[in-house]
Every structure is written in C-alpha cells, then in structure tokens.
C-alpha cells in the first residue's frame, strides 16, 4: 500500500538520522545508564527501600527517563524538518500527509524500544534480576510502548508548533524530572505530605509501580489501571491537539 | 486538455490583518519560463505556496495542468515540484541518498538509476557519497533543484533560486533552468533581480502591493515605457565580468 510504503521510506530516513547523530545516542542511552550507575553505586547504599536489590528497584524509573528523553528528539526532528524545508518538500509531493507524521512516530517507537532493551541488558550486567515470565515481559513491553506512544504524541505538538529550537526541546525537561518526584528512586513514604500527594498521583509512580510489580511477580494492584488510563488519556488528548496543529499545514 | 500549465484568477490571501494578495490573476502556458518579479514582501512566496498546495487562498481559484489546487491537491502534487527559497536538502543524508529518498517517495521505477543520472547531470557525481551538509552553497542548490526534477514533474516552482549564490553558482542555475524549459518543463520562478527575469523569462509579471501591476513579454513591457534613447557609452567591464573572467581562467566549472 502506498501510505505504508511512504511511511517506511520516511521511517528509514529518520532512523538513519539517529544513527548519524552521536548526540542523540549519548542523550538517549548514555545519560540513563550513567544515572543508573550513579543511583546504584553512589546514592543507592544510603537509600532504604526495604528488602530487595536496589538495581531491581531502579530499572523501571530509568527506562521511563530514557523514553522521556528519547521522545524529545521527535520534537527536534520534526522542528528541523519544518525549518529546513523538508516538510514543505514532502507536503508538495504526492505523499500521504499521514505518512509524513507517522514516520516520525514510528521512528520514536522503534528507537525507544531499542534503547529500552539495551538499558535492560546493561541492568542485567549490573545485577538486575527478575522472576518475570513471558506474559509479564510482554506486559512490561506493552506498558512501556504505550508510554512511548503517549510521550511521542506529546512531543509532536511542540515539534509542529515551536518557533525556535529551544521551544521545541523545552517540553522534555519537566518530563525528565517527573521520575525524581515519584517512586522511581525512593519510596514515596518518606516525602513531606504535599510532595507525597503529588508523587503518588502522577503517572510515573503508577507506571513504575506496575512495571516493578511485573518484574518482581508480586500482585499488581489498581496501579496498572491508573497507569494505563494515564497513557491512553495522554495519547488521545495529545493526538487530537497534534492533529489540529498538523492540519494548519494542509 | 488545456494549453495552460498554470491558471490563477482573483487570488486573495491575508495573514491576520495584513492583506498579502489583493487580487492576483495570471496564466502560464506549458513549456514557458514565467518570472514573477517583485520586491521583498510583495507576495511572491505566498503565491507560490498557494500554487504548491501548502497554503489555502481566502478566495479566488488556481489550477495546475487543469487540476484545482483546493479540490484536487493530490493531482496537483503529482504534477509539480517546489524548490523553496531556502534549499530543502537533508543534510544528514548524502547527495545520492537525498535523491534516492525523493525518487522512492515519488514512486519512480528505478530510484538508484534516477539518482545517478541526476547526479551526473548536475555535476555532483564526485560528491555523491558525501553528506549534503558538507556541500557548498552552489552545490546544495544544485542538489535541491536535482531533487525537484525527480519524476519529471510538468511544472516546477522556483522561489528565488539564485538568492545567496555567488555569480558562478548563479550562472549554473540559470543554465539549468534554460535546459529544463528546453525540455518542455513549465517553470514559474520568483525573483527580485531584474537581470534574472530578463535573462530567463519568456513572460514577466510584476507583483507589487498584492496585485499584478504589469504582465507581458520583455518586449511588451518595454513598450509600456518611454522609448529607449540611443546613447553612446563606453562599455566598462563590470566587476562581475572581471570576476568571472578571472575565475574562468582558472579553468574550473
């Protein structure tokens, strides 16, 4: 099908962009790995999580940070395409307009999946162990993919509307900080009330707790529904805002 | 079907309170080089963007090869190619990859062959495997125009194609444009350089303050103005003549 073919061609192009941009690889891969090392071997000893291995505790949050910073590049790639005129070139060609946008979304999904897998691999070397079976792994994959999709559509909005490169990249900063005010690195119980209420009711905690439970094969509470609701909700809202912004170009 | 490649009537477009196009009418015959002349902000780019289906007009109509830009944008896009004011090449891809990309998207049968042919035609074969962000301004523009030729569209829009080029690069682009028109492609180009319009265009329209204030061949336009006086002036070589003569001796292309 024509739409799928064009999407694939454009997807190949942006994957090549990633391979040829060392800064993307450094930010998306090396930063989360450094954070994981820092928390595991510097702060980790002083953090009390109860029983269990701290690397195990860390992995879900690190994955979310990697995804949040990875999706920020979707904004940048879209912004550059607009700024450099590639967007206008594609739009004046007989190429489905959906392909132009979906190629970026697909690139984000695949490139983030690759970095998530690589980070898990490094975590294993650092001592990460899980009792998760195939189903639990699939569930973890599904949750992280859904989170990536939500963050990507969110990233499309500044990518299409920002007027400067700073504007296009700024949206990611708060997202990268959200895991620090969640259960990603420390249990929320020790936080002062206001912070704790925020931490316990923001999407990262629900996501982290669900993934952690899946990895540890412990019972998953209502957290998973809250995590899914957040992801689906953000995806739907961001998708509609992004498509509105995109229609301005047609 | 029709002998007109581009037909525009009563085109209007405003951005917020600014009325950019007040009422633009023009028609371009197939195979013609048509120059839209005007100063900065005259509405040249807006006109081109409407014709290239990037912008919607507020009112009026425009068609390309008989296809309406609003009702049949897909058909229009199959017949056009836009070379914008700033070269739209992918700097992270090589020259060859840029051409292959466009060829694939246009559904050309043999993308690699098409790319190689265009590379040699535009003197870019030697730089084919280099990333486009390492190209000089002239090379980038040539690649940009080469990308617009993939799939041989019937109508090509060139928005200020020689802005920012050195005299050599400009002559190269002019040569390319003439060759294209000789091959039967219709070209609508915008420029603010009178010389460029004079050199290239079969037909010139002057866009000023949002409407076309003069339209015709160069000779027709000349008739509107006071007859030329014959004066004898010693012809001094211009700095450009001198520059080109010196560069020419170098034997470079």
Tokens of B35: 């120059």
Q: Report the C-alpha gap between A209 and A101 in whole angstroms.
A: 32
The Cα of B116 is separated from the nearest Cα of chain A by a number of Å equal to 19
Cβ-Cβ pairs closer than 8 A, A with B, add up to 61
Answer whether residue B77 shows pLDDT above 90: yes
Strand order in the sheet with B203-208: B67-68, B59-64, B4-15, B18-29, B211-216, B203-208, B33-37, B186-191, B155-159, B80-83
Q: Report the C-alpha gap between A150 and A141 in whole angstroms.
A: 14
pLDDT confidence of residue A28: 85
Answer whether residue A216 shows pLDDT above 70: yes
Answer whether residue A218 shows pLDDT above 90: no
pLDDT confidence of residue B2: 64
**Lowest model confidence (mean pLDDT) among B63-72, B90-99, B184-193, B238-247:** B238-247
Q: Do A93 and B102 touch (CB under 8 A)?
A: yes
Query: pLDDT-based confidence at B250, cuts 50/70/90?
Result: low
Q: Kindly give the pairing relationship between strand B4-15 and strand B33-37.
A: unpaired
Q: Domains (ranges, CATH) in chain B?
A: 4-88+153-249 (3.40.50.300), 90-134 (no CATH)
> Does residue B104 belong to the interface with chain A, where contact is any CB pair within 8 Å?
yes
- Whether the Cβ atoms of residue B131 and residue B93 lie closer than 8 Å to each other: yes
Please report which helix (H) or strand (E) contains residue B205, including its range.
strand B203-208
Query: pLDDT-based confidence at B253, cuts 50/70/90?
Result: very low
Residues of chain B with Cβ-Cβ distance to A102 below 8 Å are none
pLDDT confidence of residue B234: 74
A12: nearest CA in chain B?
B101
- Cβ-based interface (< 8 Å): residues of A facing B: 2, 5-6, 9-10, 13, 16-17, 20-21, 84-86, 88-95, 249
Based on DSSP, count helices (H) and strands (E) in chain B, helices before strands. Answer: 9, 10
| Mean of per-residue pLDDT scores for chain A | 89
> Does residue B106 belong to the interface with chain A, where contact is any CB pair within 8 Å?
yes
The Cα of A1 is separated from the nearest Cα of chain B by a number of Å equal to 12
pLDDT in tens, A139-180: 999 999 999 999 999 999 999 998 888 888 887 778 778 888
Q: Report the C-alpha gap between B190 and A46 in whole angstroms.
A: 68
> Does residue B109 belong to the interface with chain A, where contact is any CB pair within 8 Å?
no
Q: What is the mean pLDDT of residues B225-240?
A: 72
pLDDT confidence of residue B252: 45
The complex's ipTM works out to 0.86
Q: What is the mean pLDDT of residues A62-89?
A: 92
B131: nearest CA in chain A?
A20
The Cα of A133 is separated from the nearest Cα of chain B by a number of Å equal to 41
Most confident of A176-185, A216-225, B90-99, B194-203: B90-99
Tokens of B67: 């296809």
> In this complex, which of A20, A21, A88 lies closest to B54 when CB atoms are compared?
A88
The rounded Cα A196 to chain-centroid distance in angstroms is 23
Answer whether residue A51 shows pLDDT above 80: no
pLDDT in tens, A5-40: 999 999 999 999 999 988 888 888 888 899 899 888
Question: What share of residues in chain A are helix, strand, coil (percent, to 5)?
Answer: 80, 0, 20
pLDDT in tens, B6-45: 999 988 998 888 888 898 999 999 989 999 988 888 888 8
Tokens of A1: 């099908």
């Amino acid at each position: 099908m024509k739409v799928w073919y064009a999407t694939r061609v454009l997807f190949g192009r942006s994957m090549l962009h990633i391979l040829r941009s060392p800064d993307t690889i450094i930010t998306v891969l090396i930063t989360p790995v450094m954070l994981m090392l820092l928390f595991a071997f510097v702060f980790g000893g002083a953090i009390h999580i109860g029983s269990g291995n701290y690397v195990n505790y860390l992995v879900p949050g690190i994955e979310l940070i990697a995804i949040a910073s990875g999706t920020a590049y979707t904004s940048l790639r879209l912004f550059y395409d607009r700024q450099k005129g590639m967007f206008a070139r594609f739009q004046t060609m007989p190429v489905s307009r959906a392909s132009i946008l979906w190629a970026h979304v697909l690139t984000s999904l695949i490139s983030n999946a690759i970095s998530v897998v690589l980070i898990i691999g490094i975590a294993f070397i650092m001592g990460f162990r899980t009792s998760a079976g195939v189903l639990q792994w699939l569930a973890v994959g599904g949750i992280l993919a859904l989170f990536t999709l939500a963050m990507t559509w969110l990233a499309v909005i500044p990518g299409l509307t920002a007027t400067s490169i700073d504007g296009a990249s700024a949206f990611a900063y708060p997202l990268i900080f959200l895991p620090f005010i969640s259960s990603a690195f420390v249990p929320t119980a020790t936080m002062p009330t206001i912070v704790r209420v925020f931490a316990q009711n923001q999407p990262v905690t629900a996501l982290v707790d669900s993934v952690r439970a899946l990895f540890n094969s412990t019972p998953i509470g209502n957290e998973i529904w809250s995590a899914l609701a957040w992801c689906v909700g953000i995806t739907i809202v961001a998708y509609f805002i992004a498509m509105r912004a995109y229609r301005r170009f047609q | 079907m029709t002998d007109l490649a581009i037909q525009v009537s009563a085109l209007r477009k405003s951005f917020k309170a600014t009325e950019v196009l007040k009422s633009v009418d023009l028609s371009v015959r197939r195979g013609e080089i048509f120059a839209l002349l005007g100063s900065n902000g005259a509405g040249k780019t807006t006109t081109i963007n409407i014709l290239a289906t990037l912008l919607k007009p507020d009112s009026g109509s425009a068609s390309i090869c008989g296809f309406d830009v609003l009702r049949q944008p897909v058909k229009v896009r199959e017949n056009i190619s836009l070379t914008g004011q700033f070269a739209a090449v992918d700097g992270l891809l090589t020259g060859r990859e840029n051409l292959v990309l466009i060829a694939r998207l246009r559904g050309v049968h043999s993308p690699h062959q098409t790319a190689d042919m265009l590379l040699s035609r535009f003197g870019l074969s030697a730089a084919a495997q280099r990333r486009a962000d390492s190209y000089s301004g002239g090379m980038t523009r040539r690649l940009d125009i080469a990308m617009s030729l993939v799939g041989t569209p019937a109508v090509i829009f060139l928005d200020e194609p020689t802005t920012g080029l050195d005299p050599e690069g400009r002559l190269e682009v002019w040569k390319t444009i003439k060759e294209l028109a000789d091959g039967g492609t219709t070209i609508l180009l915008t420029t603010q350089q009178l010389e460029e319009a004079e050199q290239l265009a079969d037909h010139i329209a002057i866009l000023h303050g949002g409407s076309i204030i003069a339209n015709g061949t160069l000779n027709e336009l000349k008739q509107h103005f006071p007859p030329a006086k014959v004066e004898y002036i010693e012809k001094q070589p211009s700095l450009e003549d001198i520059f080109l003569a010196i560069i020419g001796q170098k034997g470079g292309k």
